[in-house]
Amino acid sequence: MTVKKLHFGIIGAGRIGRVHAETLAFRMPEAEIVAITDVNREAAESLAAHCNIPTVAASSAEILADPKIDAVLICSSTNTHADLIVQAAQAGKHIFCEKPIAFSLEKIDAALAAVKAAGVQLQIGFNRRFDANFARVRHAVVSGEIGTPSLMHIISRDPAPPPLAYVRVSGGMFMDMTIHDFDMARFLIGDEVEEIYTTGGAMVDPEIGKAGDLDTALIVLRFRNGVIGTIDNSRKAVYGYDQRVEILGSEGKIGTENCYPNQAVVSGGKSVHRDLPLNFFMERYTESFATELKSFTAAVLENRPTVVTGIDGRIPVVMALAARKSYDEHRPVRLEEVGG
Domain coordinates in residue numbering, the chain = 6-120, 129-284+316-337
pLDDT at 340 over 70: no
The pTM of this model reads: 0.94
Question: What's the CATH architecture for 6-120?
Answer: 3-Layer(aba) Sandwich (3.40)
pLDDT digits (tens, 9 = 90+) for 160-210: 999 999 999 899 999 999 999 999 999 999 999 999 999 999 999 999 999
Look at residue 1 in the predicted model and tell me its pLDDT.
47
pLDDT tens-place string over residues 1-14: 456 899 999 999 99
Say what percent of the chain tops pLDDT 90: 89
Q: Is the model's pLDDT at 303 over the cut of 90? A: yes
Edge-to-edge strand order for the sheet containing 94-97?
55-56, 31-37, 6-11, 71-74, 94-97, 122-124
The answer on pLDDT for 221 being more than 80 is yes
Residue 276, pLDDT score: 84
> Are 6-120 and 129-284+316-337 the same fold in CATH?
no
Which of residues 92 and 280 earns the better pLDDT score?
92
CA distance 234 to 64: 38
Average pLDDT, the chain: 95
228-238 confidence digits (pLDDT tens):
999 999 999 99
**What's the CATH fold of domain 129-284+316-337?**
Dihydrodipicolinate Reductase; domain 2 (3.30.360)
User: Could you read off the pLDDT of 44-100 as tens digits, one per residue?
Assistant: 999 999 999 999 999 999 999 999 999 999 999 999 999 999 999 999 999 999 999
Q: What is the β-pairing status of strands 193-201 and 94-97?
A: unpaired
Distance of alpha carbon 111 from alpha carbon 81, whole angstroms: 9
Beta strand 228-234 pairing with 272-273: unpaired
Sign of the alpha-carbon torsion through 197, 238, 240, 280:
positive
Residue 301 has pLDDT above 80, yes or no: yes
- Residue 219's pLDDT band, with cuts at 50, 70 and 90, is very high
Q: Determine the average pLDDT of the residues in 304-333.
A: 97
Q: Which residues contact 117 (CB under 8 A, 6 or more apart)?
A: 89
* Contact between residue 85 and residue 101 where contact means Cβ atoms under 8 Å apart: yes
